[in-house]
Structure 1
């Protein structure tokens, strides 16, 4: 993004390209794109972005694991099971030669597309939308209040969990941080890299 250019949403990182639809790796062919419902372009099936449901805010709580960084917060009350936004980034095949091993923003969409044994993931390290700002719940809340799940074939959505096991859970309230579980594999891989 050019210096002085208007940010697409408040607090968007200048070095990250803001996407309104995903980009596709050159390595993805019709064998993968067809079952995902894509041509050589992702098409118009994605939820509008920027999203009216969320805002990016700096985390000021010193005990938060991402203190000083940013998180994603609800701009209105979001009921259990409701769609918050889609996760946008670069769709790529889950093979080493098409995967950025250093990315912390890579989310597996499908491990086996159309019985081919080939998987696809979405990486928002260098380009994405507000969904890339969602933090893990660990160290912040007892349970996640949101989850990643396929909204329709080829599209990963972020949803308010229906029941997170917390008594009286009514969804995500306006002003609350949207938190997911990154999964055990995310944290195990990072622990192994440190050791």
Structure 2
């Protein structure tokens, strides 16, 4: 086993103080946790070297309860711009448990990678995650998506699924909205809410 592979294998969730309005039943982490279902060679591809410790920047976002009765996630939570966010700005990474097992019951599971041999790698923020788990889908809201999912490599080479602002700026106080994609909705025959991250 190479030293890099060993460092990836030993990676554990990084816990730190959660932001305001964080649900007590979810573990707040700022770095991905790798589930045992992820093969060693896949871990090494996703995270080729040991990442340096990072601390989340909360200057761009704030978690708030949805108070508009017409909102599909009324009474739950969403992610909002804490200040004006310029176009094409990296807002936050979607952090959770990186896994290769099947999790059909989780509404917080996002696709990260499909390997050449067809193995699907996801990031599940159901039981542990960060602020990104509160981003809602734009459907049934009188708005259009103002942010997008895009994969990226960090400075240490780790593959992440990230949320970026779209082609227009996001105003202070505006809810950050993305498109979950048709596949997410097709997997749910009778969705009760558009929220990926109800908490």
| TM-score of the pair, normalised by structure 1 | 0.82
Q: Does 1:183 align with 2:181?
A: yes
**Who is 1:34 aligned against?**
44
- Which whole-Å deviations, capped at 9, do the CAs of 1:121-151 have from their partners, x for residues lacking one? 1000000000000000011134210111112
TM-fit CA distance, 1:29: 2.3
Q: Does 1:156 align with 2:126?
A: no
TM-fit CA distance, 1:76: 0.9
- Which whole-Å deviations, capped at 9, do the CAs of 1:2-45 have from their partners, x for residues lacking one? xxxx9621100000000011100112222201211245x6x238
| TM-score of the pair, normalised by structure 2 | 0.80
Counting matched residue pairs gives: 173
Distance 1:44 1:176 in 2: 32
TM-fit CA distance, 1:56: 0.3
Query: After superposition, where does 1:110-125 map in structure 2 within 5 Å?
Result: 110-112=113-115, 115-125=116-126
Query: SS in structure 1 opposite 2:42?
Result: helix
CA contact (8 A) 1:76 1:175 kept: yes
CA contact (8 A) 1:89 1:124 kept: yes
TM-fit CA distance, 1:116: 3.2
CA contact (8 A) 1:147 1:180 kept: yes
Distance 1:192 1:139 in 2: 14
Is the alpha carbon distance of 1:141 and 1:160 closer, same or farther for their aligned partners in structure 2, counting shifts above 3 Å? farther
Deviating beyond 6 angstroms after TM superposition, the runs of 4 or more aligned structure 1 residues are: none
Query: SS in structure 2 opposite 1:190?
Result: coil
Query: After superposition, where does 1:1-195 map in structure 2 within 5 Å?
Result: 8-38=18-48, 43-44=51-52, 48-93=55-100, 98-112=101-115, 115-152=116-153, 154-162=159-167, 170-191=168-189
Distance 1:45 1:38 in 2: 15
CA contact (8 A) 2:62 2:82 kept: yes
Distance 2:191 2:173 in 1: 35
Distance 2:121 2:173 in 1: 33
Runs of 5+ unmatched residues, structure 2: 1-15, 193-199
- Which whole-Å deviations, capped at 9, do the CAs of 1:133-176 have from their partners, x for residues lacking one? 000001113421011111225111100012xxxxxxx3111100
Runs of 5+ unmatched residues, structure 1: 1-5, 163-169
Distance 1:72 1:87 in 2: 12
